[in-house]
Amino acid sequence: MKTIIKVEGMSCQHCVKTIIKQLERAGVQNFNVQIGRVEIEISDNQNDVDKIKKLIEESGYRVMDE
């Protein structure tokens, strides 16, 4: 399942790299990070999505409600 998470506060490539590092450390695979959004391909498990949203917020960014 492909999920798109909209992220507020990302303004440059440094922000993108910060989130990429967090996702890689957490073992997340199959993702694409762009300014303002994170696209991930994961199982249909809401816990996985919630975990990734938490990682993003711990990196200093805000996850936007859909």
Q: Strand (E) positions, 1-66? A: 2-8, 31-34, 37-41, 62-63
Residue 35 corresponds to which tokens in the numbers above?
Answer: 């300014």
Task: State how far the Cα of 52 lies from the Cα of 48, in Å rounded to an integer.
Answer: 6
Query: Where in the chain are the domains?
Result: 2-63
Domain 2-63 has CATH 3.30.70.100: yes
pLDDT in tens, 9-24: 999 999 999 999 999 9
The two tokens of residue 40 are 């991930």
pLDDT digits (tens, 9 = 90+) for 25-65: 988 889 999 999 999 987 767 788 899 999 999 999 999 98
